Copies of this chain bind each other. A is one copy, B any other.
Amino acid sequence: MTTETHERAAALAGLARDTPEIVIDLDVVRANIDRAAAAAHDAGVAMRPHVKTHKLPQIAHLQVQAGAIGIQVAKLGEAEVMADAGIRDILVGYPVVGEAKLARLGDLAGRVSISVTLDSDEAAAGVSRIASQRGVTIAVLVEIDTGLRRLGLEPGTEATDFAERIAALPGLQLAGVFTHEGHVYTQARDDAERERLTLEACGAAVETAREIRRRGHAAPVVSVGSAGTFRFAIRCPGVTEVRPGTYVFNDRSQIAQGAATEADLAAVVVTTVVGRPRPERIVVDAGTKVLTSDRMLVADPPATFGRVLGHDEWDLVRLSEEHGVLDIPASADVRIGDRLVIVPNHVCPTINLATAVTVIERGSVTGRWPVAARGMVQ
Contact with B along A116-141 (1 / 0, CB 8 A): 00011011000000000000000000
Chain B residues contacting A336 (CB-CB under 8 Å) are: 95, 97, 120, 122-123
CB neighbours (8 Å) of A75 from chain B are 322
Q: Which residues of B lie under 8 Å from residue A152 when comparing CB positions?
A: 277
Q: Given A119-B275, A120-B336, A375-B355, are A150 and B325 neighbors across the interface (CB < 8 Å)?
A: yes
B281 touches A149 (CB 8 A): yes
Tell me, yes or no, whether A378 is within 8 Å of chain B by CB: yes
How many Å lie between the Cα of A148 and that of B17 in the bound state? 31
Copies of this subunit:
2
| Contact B274–A95 (Cβ < 8 Å) | yes
Seed contacts A97-B336, A120-B336, A123-B336; 9 additional CB < 8 Å A-B pairs: A17-B100, A75-B322, A120-B277, A150-B277, A288-B349, A289-B349, A289-B375, A293-B293, A354-B377
B378 and A98: CB pair below 8 A?
no
Contacting residues of chain A (306-340) with chain B, CB-CB under 8 angstroms: 318, 320-323, 325, 335-337
Q: Given A20-B377, A119-B275, A274-B123, verify A151-B353 contact (CB < 8 Å).
A: no
Q: Is the CB of B19 within 8 A of A98?
A: yes
Residues of B within 8 A of A294 (CB): 288, 293
**Could you give 24 example pairs across A and B, Cβ below 8 Å?**
A20-B377, A75-B322, A94-B322, A95-B336, A98-B272, A119-B275, A119-B277, A120-B277, A122-B335, A123-B274, A145-B277, A149-B281, A150-B318, A150-B320, A151-B283, A153-B277, A288-B349, A289-B375, A290-B377, A292-B292, A293-B293, A293-B349, A321-B348, A322-B377
CA distance A105 to B335 in the complex (A): 21
CA distance in complex: A374, B352 (Å): 12
Which residues does chain B contribute within 8 Å of A210, judged by CB atoms? none
Q: Is A235 an interface residue (CB 8 A)?
A: no
How far apart are the CA atoms of A318 and B375 in the complex, in Å?
A: 20
Are B375 and A353 interface neighbours, CB within 8 A? yes
**How close is A173's CB to chain B, nearest CB, in angstroms?**
21
CA distance A336 to B126 in the complex (A): 11
Q: Indicate if A285 sits at the interface (CB-CB under 8 A).
A: yes
Residues of chain B lying within 8 A (CB to CB) of residue A375:
289, 353-355
Whether B325 lies near A272 (C-beta < 8 A) is: no
B contact residues around A119 at 8 Å (CB): 275, 277
Residues of B within 8 A of A21 (CB): 378
Please give, as numbers and ranges, the residues of chain B lying within 8 Å of A98 by CB-CB distance: 18-19, 272, 337
A52 at the interface (CB under 8 A from B): yes
Asked if A88 CB lies within 8 Å of chain B CBs, one says: no
Could you tell me the distance between the alpha carbons of A273 and B95 in the complex, rounded to whole angstroms? 10
| Pairs of residues from A and B, 8 with the lowest C-beta to C-beta distance, nearest first | A122-B336, A293-B293, A18-B100, A74-B322, A95-B274, A151-B275, A355-B375, A97-B274
A258 to B98, CA, bound (A): 37
A30 within 8 A of B: no
Interface digits, A84-106 against B, CB 8 Å rule (1 contact, 0 not)? 00000000001101101100000
A150 touches B97 (CB 8 A): no
Do residues B150 and A323 form an inter-chain contact, with CB atoms below 8 A?
yes
Interface string of A347-376 (1 = CB under 8 A from B): 011001111000000000000000000010
A283 to B95, CA, bound (A): 10
Neighbouring B residues of A283 by C-beta, 8 Å: 150-151
In whole angstroms, what is the CA distance A353 to B377 when docked?
9
A276 at the interface (CB under 8 A from B): yes
